Structure 1
Amino acid sequence: MKKLDVVVIGAGAAGLFCAAQAAKRGRSVAVLDHAKRIGGKILMSGGGRCNFTNMYASHENFICDNPHFCKSALSQYTPWDFIGLVAEYGIAYHEKTLGQLFCDGSAKDILNMLFKECEKSGATVSNQCEILSIEKMDSGFELKTNQDQYQCESVVVATGGLSIPKLGASPYGYQIAEQFGLKVKPTRAGLVPFTLHEQDKAVLAELSGISLDASASFNDTSFNENILFTHRGLSGPAVLQISSFWQPGQTVEFDLYPNGDLLAYLQQTLENQPDVQLSTALAKHYPKRYIQAALPYLGIENKPLKQYQGKQLEQAAQAFHQWQLKPNGTEGYRTAEVTLGGVDTDELSSKTMESKKVKGLYFVGEVMDVTGWLGGYNFQWAWSSGWVAGQVV
Structure 2
Amino acid sequence: MAHYDVIILGAGAAGMMAAIEAGKRGRTVLLVDHVQYAGEKIRISGGGRCNFTNVNATVEIGRDRFLSQNPRFALSALSRYTPENFIALVRRHGITFHEKVLGQLFCDGPATQINTMLLGEMREAGVAFSFSTNVEAVEKTETGFSVRFASGYATSDSLIIATGGKSIPKMGATSFGYQVATQFGLRVTETRPALVPLTFETGALERLKELAGIATDAIVSHGKTKFEEALLFTHRGLSGPAILQISSYWREGDSISVDLMPNASAMDFLRAARTATPKLQVQTIIANALPKRLAQLLGDELDMHTMIGDFPDKKLAIVEAKLKAWSLKPVGSEGYRTAEVTLGGVDTRDLDAKTMAARAVPGLYFVGEVVDVTGWLGGYNFQWAWASGWAAGQAA
Report the TM-score, using the length of structure 1 for normalisation: 0.98
Bigger mean CA deviation after superposition, 65-74 or 143-152: 143-152
Report the counterpart of residue 241 of structure 1 in structure 2: 245
| 1:349 pairs with one of 352, 374, 378 | 352
> How many pairs are equivalent?
392
Bigger mean CA deviation after superposition, 35-44 or 47-56: 35-44
The C-alpha deviation readout for 1:197-232, integer Å capped at 9, x for no partner, is 222111212111100111111111111111100011
Report the counterpart of residue 25 of structure 1 in structure 2: 25
Q: Tell me whether 1:317 sits opposite 2:349 in the alignment.
A: no
Q: Which residue identity does 1:361 align to in structure 2? A: L
| 2:258 pairs with one of 245, 254, 257 | 254
Asked if the contact 1:2–1:148 (Cα under 8 Å) also holds between the matched residues in 2, the reply is no
Q: Tell me whether 1:163 sits opposite 2:167 in the alignment.
A: yes
Offset at residue 38 of structure 1 (A) = 2.6
Report the counterpart of residue 277 of structure 1 in structure 2: 281
Offset at residue 310 of structure 1 (A) = 4.6
> How do residues 166-185 of structure 1 correspond to structure 2 at under 5 angstroms?
166-185=170-189
CA distance in 1, matches of 2:269, 2:285: 9
**Is the partner of 2:73 in helix, strand or coil?**
coil
| 1:382 pairs with one of 364, 382, 385 | 385
CA distance in 2, matches of 1:237, 1:63: 17
Asked if the contact 1:251–1:325 (Cα under 8 Å) also holds between the matched residues in 2, the reply is yes
CA distance in 1, matches of 2:220, 2:108: 29
Offset at residue 270 of structure 1 (A) = 1.6
Report the counterpart of residue 190 of structure 1 in structure 2: 194
Report the counterpart of residue 51 of structure 1 in structure 2: 51
Q: Tell me whether 1:76 sits opposite 2:80 in the alignment.
A: yes
The C-alpha deviation readout for 1:61-105, integer Å capped at 9, x for no partner, is 100001210110000100111011111111111111000001111
Offset at residue 59 of structure 1 (A) = 2.8
**Is the partner of 1:342 in helix, strand or coil?**
coil
CA distance in 1, matches of 2:67, 2:156: 33
**Is the partner of 2:345 in helix, strand or coil?**
strand
Q: Tell me whether 1:97 sits opposite 2:101 in the alignment.
A: yes
Q: Tell me whether 1:308 sits opposite 2:311 in the alignment.
A: yes
| 2:341 pairs with one of 320, 326, 338 | 338
Q: Tell me whether 1:112 sits opposite 2:124 in the alignment.
A: no
**Is the partner of 1:267 in helix, strand or coil?**
helix
**Is the partner of 1:60 in helix, strand or coil?**
coil
CA distance in 2, matches of 1:104, 1:7: 33
Offset at residue 147 of structure 1 (A) = 3.0
* Runs of 4+ residues over 6 Å off in structure 1: none
Structure 1: stretches of 5+ with no match in the other structure: none
Q: Which residue identity does 1:167 align to in structure 2? A: M
The C-alpha deviation readout for 1:117-160, integer Å capped at 9, x for no partner, is 10111112211111111111111111111233111110000000
Q: Which residue identity does 1:313 align to in structure 2? A: L
Report the counterpart of residue 39 of structure 1 in structure 2: 39
Q: Tell me whether 1:67 sits opposite 2:93 in the alignment.
A: no
Offset at residue 331 of structure 1 (A) = 0.4
Asked if the contact 1:5–1:154 (Cα under 8 Å) also holds between the matched residues in 2, the reply is yes
% identical aligned pairs: 50
Offset at residue 42 of structure 1 (A) = 1.0
Asked if the contact 1:59–1:74 (Cα under 8 Å) also holds between the matched residues in 2, the reply is no
* Aligned-CA RMSD value: 1.1
CA distance in 2, matches of 1:300, 1:31: 62
Offset at residue 190 of structure 1 (A) = 0.4
Offset at residue 300 of structure 1 (A) = 3.6
Q: Which residue identity does 1:56 align to in structure 2? A: N
Q: Which residue identity does 2:373 align to in structure 1? A: V
Q: Which residue identity does 2:129 align to in structure 1? A: V
Report the counterpart of residue 2 of structure 1 in structure 2: 2
Report the TM-score, using the length of structure 2 for normalisation: 0.97
Offset at residue 309 of structure 1 (A) = 3.2
Asked if the contact 2:38–2:115 (Cα under 8 Å) also holds between the matched residues in 1, the reply is no
| 2:91 pairs with one of 65, 80, 87 | 87
CA distance in 2, matches of 1:303, 1:49: 50
Structure 2: stretches of 5+ with no match in the other structure: none
CA distance in 2, matches of 1:340, 1:18: 22
CA distance in 2, matches of 1:310, 1:105: 53
Offset at residue 37 of structure 1 (A) = 3.0
| 1:367 pairs with one of 366, 370, 374 | 370
Asked if the contact 1:34–1:128 (Cα under 8 Å) also holds between the matched residues in 2, the reply is yes
**Is the partner of 1:379 in helix, strand or coil?**
helix
The C-alpha deviation readout for 1:219-248, integer Å capped at 9, x for no partner, is 111111111000111000010000000111
